[in-house]
Structure 1
Amino acid sequence: MPAKNILTLSHVRVRQTTSTIFNELSLEIKAGENWALIGKSGSGKTALLQTIAGNMPVSGGQIIYHFYEGAKQNFLADASFTAQKMMAMVASKHQFKTLSNTKDFYYQQRYNSSDADDAPTVQLYLNQLPKSKILNPTWNFDYTVKKLNLEFLLDKQLIKLSNGETKRLLLAAALLKHPSLLLLDNPLTGLDVQSRAVFNNLLTEISQSGITIIMATSPQEIPDAITNIAILDQQQIKKTVLKEAFEPKSFRPDEACVDTNELKDLLSQKPDASFSTIISMENVNIRYDKKQILNNITWKVLPGEKWALLGSNGAGKSTLLSLINGDNPQAYANNIVLFDRKRGSGESIWDIKKKIGFVSPELHQYFPGESSCLQVIESGFYDTLGLFRPSNPQQSNIALRWMKLLRIENNARKLLKNVTASTQRLVLLARALVKNPPLLIFDEPCQGLDEQQQQHFKYLLEMICKNSNTTLIYVTHYQQEIPNVVNQILRLEKGKMVVGDSY
């Protein structure tokens, strides 16, 4: 007996403002199947998930939620019972609100104690979620919290979660809904090696509990639970294959290349500045309430050095970086020297930020999207979250030249919020590079980039380092992302420095 359909997309058309996102898109998903959506950045993976979730208007064709048609007979008296109630989506960005539920979080909130107090705790956030209508669900509160390793985070405020911890929380929130259909947008992004292995096993258990999974992911990271793969290109499903017939090697990126003369010319415009020490920390300690985040960190970074900062989710990496880039006021209570100047000796945070090019998942999460991509990059000259002054033609031209090196110049006039997540990340990388700072801090810079974009950015960064005396601190959970020029390692675990120089 053939398996029943769970979901059918029949000749679906989706338009957004003046452009067509999908046209004549069809896909059938049957009981027992779990699907991975793969393709280059901008191929339509996220848009397809959003369309299935009901977040994008369908102007032609139809989507049939067979799992809903079979269940709604039990809820005829409940007019609010919709297919959306039986689905859960874990997006690439969260939408957390303050305790008053009146405003979103902002970038530096986690480091300002009075403002951080306006953020809900993990326990409160989960308790406020709508309760599942399923009797005796597999994914009850206690079981889900244990499986997602959230037991020791229940009293932690959302704003203080690491990127990986936030991913686990969002998945827990989705499971507590006990959906028939679980939609995941690159869920492995930001997870450390151990967490990715745990997640692989978790997806198998989720599937065995009767939940159908559709996820956007990398061709190199397809979990064991996946049975079918849809390959997208230019907003079309080009091919569907069984997982065992899929060849990840066919998605190897082309060899990267960069206009070296153009890069050298841009690097030649670096402001004159020389320092004997970029960073010096002695016995640095950071605490929040009773929680020790950093424990006796002593670290010295000299000009031109290339460092990898490694450690599991929640190890203290982001907090350490916040002491360097001027975001954390606890820097004043510690013995920290930046660019030959002790913190608290009269310098402003803007004196520090103008010497640093910085990108992180948190900056991406909270960066306002109302400026054009070109304006966002030009704002890097001023270290502001957007351009709040008239554009300078010379600086705008430099920003555009960096866009061309990163192959995103076609997005110059588009608003940041209207481009793909991968383009947003490349825009923020260009923003970090545009002023040629003496120190680059890249915290998981390749999140959301496809393999071709990752390889191109890695090569560009290596060329920057080889053609300048730029100091680099690079954070990632993927060894293959680390530029070849990196030759020193600082590893953190539970806020402490770990001896060892291997990846």
Structure 2
Amino acid sequence: MTDQQTPFLSLEHTTVRYLDKTLFHALNWQINKGEQWAVIGPSGAGKTALMNTILGKFNVINGSIHYHFYEEWRHTHTITDPWFNYRSLMSFVGHHHTFRDLSNTTTDFYYQQRFNSMDADNSPTVMEYLELNEVPALLQPLRIAPLMEKRLIKLSNGETRRIMIARALLQHPQLLMLDNPYIGLDVQARKDFSQMINEIISAGTTVLLSTSPREIPEHITHILTLDNGTITGKYTRSEFMQLPLPAFAAPGASLPEIAGSKIADLVKQGGNPTFDTIIRMEDIQVKYGENTILSNINWTVKPNEKWALLGPNGAGKSTLLSLVNGDNPQAYANKLWLFDRRRGTGESIWDIKKKIGFVSPELHQYFTSRDHCLQVICSGFHDVIGATRPVSAAQMQIARNWMEILHISSHESTPFKQVSESTQRLTLLARALVKNPPLLIFDEPCQGLDAQQKLHFKNVIEQLCTHMPVTLIFVTHYEEELPDCVDKFLRLNQGRIG
């Protein structure tokens, strides 16, 4: 029997439940030794749930999962740790971090903490987290050497994902599972990551990753397609590459008309404040200790302008946005005007935030599992994390109207952390829109959305820009995600414009 026919992991008639929901029914699937699999499917298809099932996080109520690689390991290694089991031979990298503070007591960092140098000091450095003094050859493609002295809480979204992947690789797993690993990585990092995956596979690690049909590393040998918890296809790489990519039609003509009408009505309810200048920055400098994050930034944003903010991971985009959002105290030491008023002349952070609708992966991290989707959306009226303040009946209806426009009304009473990644993202978009803000900041808003949902999201943004007198700042590593209305560009590189 060859390696290709030796089972590595198998699911046999496996039925899986989580809480009160059946996730999979009678799944049959086998990974053979030497095979490398990618799992493809629309958002909500069950890709993350499948990995969590293999990790042993969900209840298998019928059938079985066989960890053949673990049985082989037991027969060829002496195990002295009584807690050692199949989980010890697997590493998983998901969408969100579980970093702990220096006392190892909590993962509950607050959003603004990353921009406050004293509070951020309670977060370990990358070097401390990885328990490394220097970067080994295995991790070189992740380009983490410049990050080693950084505090975890200060990392950008893309940098955080690179560190999470590094931590997983240092465990030298038999099975490495990566849930949408390209999310948050810039163009060069995606290329480097694909090469690194090829090297990991060549070194003998089995890889299982979820990804899009357009981002499958070269050494992946097989593809599993999922939809709504059901396996819809098992292919070799060559078989899958001969299939046509899914063709997603634009939403029908009736959607823009209906959505536009509803958006226009919501704008009328929200009022329309006017400003001469939305943002003005003059020679902005941001430093933490000896590290310069932003240098000589001059930027003016006028009302109704539509901007793309572009640049690689660590270029300074998140720090720039933190100055605008009111989250970074270094705004007071700089020449910064927001909504015609210079920072530090008496306005509060809440005066600023009520004029801004904001979506970002970092903000996403800080919502708890307690709140339902409607409660998360209503929290946008007060710019707080979670349902800590009551809202009026009129505000509740506005929130429901945005849920309807974004096609997520059915999740009104569902806990935020129990809906799919894409529904969470659309929920946070609705949260950003409920105030009818004059400035919208979308920091990688399409993360976690499949191709159809990205198309719908772009359509909604076009409607917003048509029916709302709104200024837009849009951040992405995929320029094809930019709405057509975006016609101005600011590119950062190593903290400088250009």
Q: TM-score, normalised by structure 1?
A: 0.95
Tell me the CA shift for residue 153 of structure 1. Answer: 1.1
Alignment of 1:21-420 (within 5 A): 21-73=23-75, 74-104=77-107, 105-127=109-131, 142-246=136-240, 249-256=244-251, 257-258=255-256, 259=258, 260-420=260-420
Query: Aligned residue for 2:472?
Result: 472
- 2:473 is paired with a residue whose SS is strand
Secondary structure, counterpart of 1:97 in structure 2: coil
1:113, distance to aligned residue in structure 2 (A):
1.5
Change (3 A) 1:249 1:442: farther
- The secondary structure found in structure 2 opposite 1:15 is strand
The amino acid across from 1:339 in the alignment is F
AA at the equivalent of 2:415:
L
CA distance in 1, matches of 2:412, 2:213: 29
Deviations 1:375-426 (A, max 9, x none): 1111111111122223321111111111111111110001111111111111
Cα distance in structure 1, aligned partners of 2:313 and 2:80? 45
Separation of aligned partners in 2, 1:193 and 1:364:
23
Q: Is the 8 A contact 1:107 1:367 kept in 2?
A: no
Aligned partners of 1:335 and 1:464: how far apart in 2? 31
Deviations 1:427-446 (A, max 9, x none): 00110011110000000000
Number of residues of Structure 1 aligned to a counterpart in Structure 2 = 488
Per-residue deviation, residues 67-117 of structure 1 (Å, max 9, x unmatched): 111111223443222111111000111100111111112211111122100
How far apart are 1:467 and its partner, in Å? 1.8
Letter in 2 for 1:26: N
Amino acid at match of 2:167: A
- Give distance in 2, aligned partners of 1:61 and 1:159: 42
**Contact 1:72–1:81 (8 Å) recurs in 2:** no
Partner of 2:207, secondary structure, is strand
Code of the aligned partner of 1:307: W
Unaligned segments of structure 2, at least 5 residues: none
Question: Which residue of structure 1 lines up, in the alignment, with residue 459 of structure 2?
Answer: 459
TM-score w.r.t. the length of structure 2 is: 0.95
> Aligned partners of 1:221 and 1:267: how far apart in 2?
39
Report if the CA contact (8 A) 1:9-1:62 is conserved: yes
CA distance in 1, matches of 2:97, 2:274: 40
Matches of 2:270 and 2:392, distance apart in 1: 17
CA distance in structure 2 between the aligned counterparts of 1:356 and 1:430, rounded to whole angstroms: 13
The Cα of 1:272 is off from its aligned counterpart by 2.9
Q: Which residue of 2 aligns with 1:135?
A: none
Q: Whole-Å Cα distance in 1 between the matches of residues 492 and 194 of structure 2?
A: 24
Contact 2:102 / 2:124 at 8 angstroms: preserved in 1? yes
Q: Distance in 2 between matches of 1:216 and 1:113?
A: 36
Q: What is the rounded CA distance, in whole Å, between the counterparts of 1:398 and 1:488 in structure 2?
A: 31
Give the partner amino acid of 2:72: G
**SS of the residue 1:314 aligns to:** coil
Deviations 1:277-327 (A, max 9, x none): 000000000001111000010000000000000000000000000000110
What are the residue-to-residue correspondences of 1:464-503 with 2, within 5 Å? 464-498=464-498
1:150-203 per-residue CA deviation (whole Å, 9 max, x = no partner) reads 112111110011111111111111111111100000000000001101111111
C-alpha distance in 2, partners of 1:75/1:115? 44
Structure 2 residue matching 1:295: 3-state secondary structure: strand
Q: Contact (CA 8 Å) 1:375, 1:391: kept in 2 or not?
A: no
- Shift, 1:141, TM fit: 5.6
Matched letter for residue 55 of structure 2: A
User: Does the Cα contact within 8 Å between 1:141 and 1:176 map onto a contact in 2?
Assistant: no
Deviation at 1:144, TM superposition (A): 3.1
8 Å CA contact 1:7–1:30 kept in 2: the answer is yes
Distance in 2 (alpha carbons) for counterparts of 1:400 and 1:446: 21
1:46 aligned partner, one-letter code: T
Q: Secondary structure at the match of 1:268?
A: helix
- Secondary structure at 1:108 match in 2: helix
**Offset at 1:349?**
0.4
Structure 2 residue matching 1:6: 3-state secondary structure: strand
CA distance in 1, matches of 2:329, 2:497: 22
Any idea what the Cα deviations from partners look like across 1:349-374, whole Å, max 9, x if unmatched? 00000000001110011122311101
Determine the C-alpha separation between the residues in 2 that align with 1:476 and 1:308: 8
Letter in 1 for 2:353: K
Cα pair 1:307 1:487 within 8 Å, conserved: yes
Between 266-275 and 209-218, the greater mean CA deviation after superposition? 266-275
Assess if the C-alpha contact under 8 Å between 2:366 and 2:385 holds in 1.
no
| Aligned-pair identity (%) | 52
1: distance between equivalents of 2:213 and 2:91?
A: 23
Which residue type is aligned with residue 123 of structure 1? M
Q: Structure 1 regions of 5+ residues with no counterpart?
A: 130-139, 499-503
Instruction: Tell me the distance in 2 between the aligned counterparts of 1:128 and 1:377.
Output: 41
* Aligned 8 A contact 2:359 2:432 in 1: yes
Q: CA deviation at 1:252?
A: 2.6
User: Is the CA contact 2:135–2:145 (under 8 Å) kept in the aligned structure 1?
Assistant: no
- Asked if 2 retains the 8 angstrom alpha-carbon contact of 1:122 and 1:153, the reply is yes
Cα distance in structure 2, aligned partners of 1:58 and 1:485: 48
Quick one: structure 1 residues 245 and 348, their matched pair in 2 at CA, closer, same or farther if it must change by over 3 Å? same
Structure 1 residue runs of 4+, over 4 Å off?
A: none
Structure 1: which amino acid aligns with 2:104? N
Q: Tell me how far 1:234 sits from its aligned partner.
A: 1.0
Secondary structure of the structure 1 residue equivalent to 2:23: strand
Query: Secondary structure of 2:365's match?
Result: helix
